[in-house]
Amino acid sequence: MFRKDKSIVGLDLGSQVVKAVEITLEGPEPVITGFARMEIPPGGETAEAIAQVFQRGKFRSRNVVTSVSGQSVVVRYITMVEMSDAELRQAIRFESDKYLPFDSDEVVLDCQRLKRKPPSSSDGETGANDQMSVVLAACRTSLIEEQMREVAEHGLTPVAVDVDVFALANAWELCGLEENAAAEDEEQAIALVDVGATRTSINVMCDGETCFSREIGIGGADMTQAAARRLGVEAVEAEAIKREAEGREAEVGRAISPVLEDLASEISLSLDYVENREGLRVEEVLLSGGGVLAPGAVSFVEQTLGRSVRTWNPLEGLRVSPERVDVEELEASASSLAVAIGLASRVRAA
Ligand SMILES: Nc1ncnc2c1ncn2[C@@H]1O[C@H](COP(=O)(O)OP(=O)(O)OP(=O)(O)O)[C@@H](O)[C@H]1O
Ligand SMILES: [Mg+2]
């Protein structure tokens, strides 16, 4: 009778669109109990968009999880000798300089051992048994502090800060769509690829666990710019044409194809690299983010990668509370909500 439902708002401070999704645990079941999104107009402020989002969305909770991305964030996959978690934390504190381009006193660090054993070395001498794979994430303290301040200014309580690429993986896991049984002889993996406005996040998952991630500085804003140049219009108009290309899909598709080409070739390089390093096969590429809505984007990427490529819906498998959420608007934005949903999925650990 006095049970208190737990809720968390995943607040994705995208460079073009601020998105907030609230997940409440009703018993064991995660339910979407709040949602709002707001575009940041050219020259506009993130702060204004956050204010609007919390005015419009019906959120129960003021507890938010945000994420960081970009050049102030570094994620490394490293091999270390087997040790306890406590020893690992110590070791990372002293050895982080080896792996990071930052001074260790100006970053917030976190690390986690992975279940997956390190790929065996080429001489085959050192068995992987006394070694472990570790993922190390570091973010400049100044970026986290700035974000905390921004969130607090809106009367919100930051409960955790995540990294975009990991949030993507958490959303995938929450949806429980990963029941791809691995083939006998070859390990199968999938790649989650989120194409935003200014960047694209890649996370390769093997057995439900990350084994590679990377950010590429190409996104929908580059497509808009390419369209503006090619069609000879202002950016604002190019953005509108890109979104409502009715009848002009082929023209827009041609205009943005150099950007898609660059993006697809970067993704391809990343997948080749991880396949080689880990000795696995990336069977499927799952796209999300607003950028993949551009005309022809999915099929272009599919042709270049020569793998199965599709968009996925991070709302799939999640119940939505229709009294609190504009379901139509939520579904219309589904493809770009993966990060926000992944952030809110932390409610399970709250
Ligand atoms: N219907 C559409 N057709 C084509 N592109 C679209 C459409 N809707 C949104 N976009 C593009 O998607 C991008 C915004 O997507 P998203 O919300 O995922 O980005 P973001 O999270 O703000 O950016 P980032 O992750 O890079 O910081 C913009 O570049 C926008 O032009
Ligand atoms: Mg984004």
Which of 90-104, 169-183, 268-282 has the least mean pLDDT? Answer: 169-183
What are the sequence ranges of the domains in the chain? 73-140, 180-311
In short, whether 224's Cβ falls inside 6 Å of ligand 1 is: yes
Mean pLDDT of the chain: 92
Question: Does 270 have pLDDT greater than 80?
Answer: yes
Q: What architecture is domain 73-140? A: 2-Layer Sandwich (3.30)
Average pLDDT over residues 134-155: 96
Bridge partners of residue 12, in order along the sequence: 19
- What's the pLDDT at 181? 47
Q: For 3-7, 144-148, 204-208, 331-335, which range has the lowest pLDDT when averaged over its residues?
A: 3-7
- 196 Cα: distance to centroid of ligand 2 (angstroms): 5
pLDDT of residue 255 exceeding 90: yes
Q: Are 72 and 100 in contact (CB under 8 A)?
A: no
Mutate to test the pocket of ligand 1, among 13, 15, 16 (most ligand atoms within 8 A of CB): 16
pLDDT reported for residue 103: 84
Is residue 14 lining ligand 1, measured as CB closer than 6 Å?
yes
pLDDT at position 178 = 52
Residue nearest to atom 15 of ligand 1 (CA): 290
Q: Return the closest-CA partner of residue 68 out of 36, 39, 108, 114.
A: 108
- pLDDT mean over 67-81: 95
Task: Please check the confidence at residue 176 and state whether its pLDDT lies above 90.
Answer: no
> Is CATH 3.90.550.40 the right assignment for the domain spanning 180-311?
no
Distance CA 271, CA 254 (A): 25
Give the span between the Cα atoms of 239 and 261, in whole angstroms: 19
> pLDDT, tens digit, for every residue of 26-40?
998 999 999 999 999
Cα distances (angstroms) measured from residue 266 to each of 247, 261, 269, 286, 287: 30, 9, 5, 16, 15
Q: Is 242 in the pocket of ligand 1 (CB under 6 A)?
A: yes
What is the share, in percent, of the chain residues with pLDDT greater than 70? 93
The owner of tokens 């993130």 is 46
User: What amino acid is encoded at 82 in this protein?
Assistant: E
CA of 197 to the centre of ligand 2 (A): 7
If you average pLDDT over residues 292-317, what whole number do you get? Answer: 96
- Residue that has been written with the tokens 């409960």 in this structure: 159
The separation between the first and the last C-alpha atoms of the chain, rounded to the nearest angstrom, is 20
Does ligand 1 come within 6 angstroms of the Cβ of 15? yes
Q: Is 17 in the pocket of ligand 1 (CB under 6 A)?
A: yes
pLDDT at 230 over 50: yes
H or E element that contains 139: strand 131-140
Q: Is 30 in the pocket of ligand 1 (CB under 6 A)?
A: no
Residue 166, φ and ψ in degrees, nearest 5: -80, -35
**Distance from the CA of 114 to the center of ligand 2, in angstroms?**
25
Give, in degrees to the nearest 5, the angle at Cα 67 between 54 and 138: 155
Mutate to test the pocket of ligand 1, among 11, 15, 17, 288 (most ligand atoms within 8 A of CB): 17
Q: Which of 53, 65, 59, 33 is nearest to 327 (CA)?
A: 33
Identify whether the C-beta of residue 348 lies closer than 8 Å to the C-beta of residue 57.
no
Tokens 């955790």 found at: 160
Candidate from 47-56, 63-72, 118-127 with smallest mean pLDDT: 118-127
pLDDT at 143 exceeding the cut of 50:
yes
Ligand closest to the CA atom of residue 220 = 1
Q: Find the largest Cα–Cα distance for the chain.
A: 63
Chain Cα centroid distance, residue 194: 6
Using the mean position of ligand 2's atoms as its centre, give its distance from the Cα of residue 195 in Å: 7
- Asked if the model's pLDDT at residue 183 lies above 50, the reply is no
pLDDT at 184 over 90: no
Q: Quick one: which of 334, 312, 344, 347 has its CA closest to 20?
A: 344
Residue % of the chain over a pLDDT of 90: 84
Query: How many angstroms separate the CA atoms of 308 and 130, rounded?
Result: 36
DSSP string, 332-343: HTGGG-HHHHHH
Q: Does the Cβ of 46 fall within 6 Å of ligand 1?
A: no
pLDDT of residue 128: 58
Q: Which atom of ligand 1 is nearest to the CA of 242?
A: 4
Eight-state DSSP code of residue 183 = P
